[in-house]
Structure 1
Amino acid sequence: RDSNATYFSVNDLSTGTVGPPVRCSRILLREWSEGGYTPVNDPPQGEVLVSGSNISPGYWKQPEKTAEDFVVIDGVRYFATGDIGEFREDGSLRIIDRKKDLVKLQHGEYVSLAKIETALLNCPLIDNICCYGDSLSSYLIALVVPNKKHLTEMAEQFDISPSSWTDICHNVEIVKEYQRRMEEHAMKNHLLKNELPGKIYLCDEIWTAETGLLTEAMKLKRRLIKEKYEQVIAQLYRDDSYKR
């Protein structure tokens, strides 16, 4: 069994940190040069590796997964969390990204899917969103669960009266206007140009834990979402006719 690697005092009212390491833990920030994260940055940054008596020796009966996520450095065994972190001046650790959520695009730049999704989830037009990037493409795409009230109002503003919710979501003019408004929100939230999805797809069903696309904590199940919308993703990258 694993236990906490960091702790937080009940009297500490600071935010944005997971606290310093507990006494039995050792935390190492491993350089990830491709993503630009290195311990020589100011502040020090890198992939969070954790060692100590509180860390499991591996996954139960999963030797391949254990070999993938556990590493030995200078004789010390570490668990590679997949988190990107940075140490603050007070010694506390701040988690700034997930390694698997960082995508390298065609021109070599990395973008953070989680950062983009967090910024766009503040948009009243959006109920949920999952961004996707391909290293062979120069732009991201986004699978979006639109807010039904706002999207219906948008359709009414344009005197568009599709016969069903699915028709509204797939109406080309509505999608173009929706993306334009989404981009306005993104720019106001200081997203960079290469962080703006080049294409979007409006999903006509709600994502829930019951449908298997979200965890019980309402987090995205990226792999399952990608599998479900595999053909949509392929079509978005294949058809450049309406890329903004």
Structure 2
Amino acid sequence: KIQGSAVKEFLFSQALASGKSRFEKQQFGCGPFWDAIVMKKIQALVGGRVKYMASGSAPLSAEIQIFIQSCFNCPCRQGYGCTETTGGSAIAVTEDNTTAQVGPPTSVTYLRLRDWEEGNYLFKNGQRGEILLGGPSVCSGYFIDPKNPDDSIIKKNQQDFVTIDNVRYFCTGDIGEIDALGRIKVIDRKKDLFKGATGEYVALSKVEAALKLSKYCEIPCVLGRIGESSVIALISPAVPELIALAKSLQEPSEDALELCTKPAIVKALSEALTQQCKKAGLIAFEIPKAFRFVLASDATPAWSPDNDFLTSTMKLKRPVIAKAFKNEIDAAYASLK
């Protein structure tokens, strides 16, 4: 949402509408007119000469991709890869605006899909399966100290790396799909699937991607507990929006930690996040049935690489979070009884 007069807000919304229309025609930017009167200042924030943007590490929503291309007048493409494969192993083609895909493999990458029967992802059912990345960019394995070998690392090397037809592959744990044009879509993650009591699988990262689109959400962590029928979500809220919401509900306070536990605030946030999930197209069993809102003691995000709840690439350490926030998780599930 633009900060400024009603005229500025109207012009910005019209520019974005033009950008969305151009996006659907396989173009980028808002067009010369809107660039000149609206977007030029935004483009100047990054130098004004950006020709290409790439996104990795986490899924890029269609909404954000359209927004970036509209504002910065350049293509924004998703890439895919892992530390173990020396970074980028696939990247979307510059001329292709199609969302939710990471393009074909790079020229040095072999890609295979391996059946994962437990999750019912089978190659015969629409070219789906676990993504294996192979070729010269794949590392030799995780380092084992010859003076003090770690059995868990030895086992991990045996599980995560395989050789097929003389090609060494890294088993990513990601579930992929290859479409008719040879583009890869990352649709799930083996470790991030929750199987509910009714047997339905919920992709936790998919739910988190939907929650991230809410202005109230800084970092989401969706969790499921064995034996339960639904998932719950721990949310590290966006503090400025949290304070603004409290003010709008006639409960003004600058104490973000206190606001995270006020019933009226929790209710309003939960309703807003549930609506965001529905807007993103999640079906009923995928939507968290309870939310808890958490921050660090200094009202900064609850999870960061510094406190060891996120990896250096900003990925959730879900088991670590689940252990540290057991009381909040217990309370969330108790509220459903």
TM-score scaled by length of structure 2: 0.62
Partner of 1:115: 206
Deviations 1:50-88 (A, max 9, x none): 344443343222211112213466887542111111112
What is the distance in 1 between the residues matched to 2:176 and 2:242?
37
Identity of paired residues, percent? 34
| C-alpha distance 3-160 of structure 1, shift in aligned 2 (>3 A) | closer
SS of residue in 2 equivalent to 1:201: strand
The answer on whether the counterparts of 2:193 and 2:203 sit within 8 Å (CA) in structure 1 is yes
How far is 1:13 from its partner?
4.0
Matched residue of 1:38: which SS? coil
- The CA distance in 2 between the partners of 1:109 and 1:218, in whole Å, is 28
Greater shift in the superposed pair: 102-111 or 201-210? 201-210
- Residue 143 of structure 2 corresponds to which residue in structure 1? 60
Deviation at 1:5, TM superposition (A): 7.9
1:96 offset after TM fit, Å?
A: 2.1
| Mapped contact 1:106–1:134 kept (Cα < 8 A) | no
For residue 32 of structure 1, report the CA deviation from its aligned partner: 1.6
- In structure 2, what is the Cα distance between the partners aligned to 1:119 and 1:24? 33
Q: Residue 116 of structure 1: CA displacement?
A: 0.8
Q: Which of 263, 278, 281 is the equivalent residue of 1:172?
A: 263
Out of 27, 37, 42, the position equivalent to 2:121 is 37
2:191 aligned partner:
100
The alignment yields a C-alpha RMSD, in angstroms, of 2.9
Counterpart among 309, 312, 317 of residue 221 in structure 1: 317
* 2:131 pairs with 1:48: yes
User: Which protein is bigger by CA-based radius of gyration?
Assistant: 2
Partner of 2:336: 243
For residue 142 of structure 1, report the CA deviation from its aligned partner: 0.6
Counterpart amino acid of residue 235 in structure 1: A
Higher helix residue share: 2
Match in the other structure for 2:224: 133
Shift of 1:20: 3.3
> Is 1:157 the equivalent of 2:253?
no
Q: Contact between 1:70 and 1:79, CA under 8 Å: does it hold in 2?
A: yes
Distance 1:8 1:236, change over 3 A: closer
Deviation string 1:78-123 (CA, Å, 9 cap, x unpaired) is: 4211111111223332322222122111211111111111111111
For structure 1, the 5+ residue unaligned runs are: none
CA contact (8 A) 2:92 2:104 kept: no
Alignment match of 2:326 (pick from 230, 233, 239): 230
Greater relative CO, 1 or 2 (CA 8 Å, sep 6+): 1
Secondary structure, counterpart of 2:260 in structure 1? helix
| Secondary structure at the counterpart of residue 174 of structure 2 | strand
Letter matched to residue 20 of structure 1: P
SS at match of 2:244: helix
Contact 1:131 1:197 in 2 (8 A): yes
Q: 1:183 to 1:7 in 2, by over 3 A?
A: closer
Aligned length: 240
**TM-score normalized with structure 1 length:** 0.83
Letter of the aligned partner of 1:50 in structure 2? L
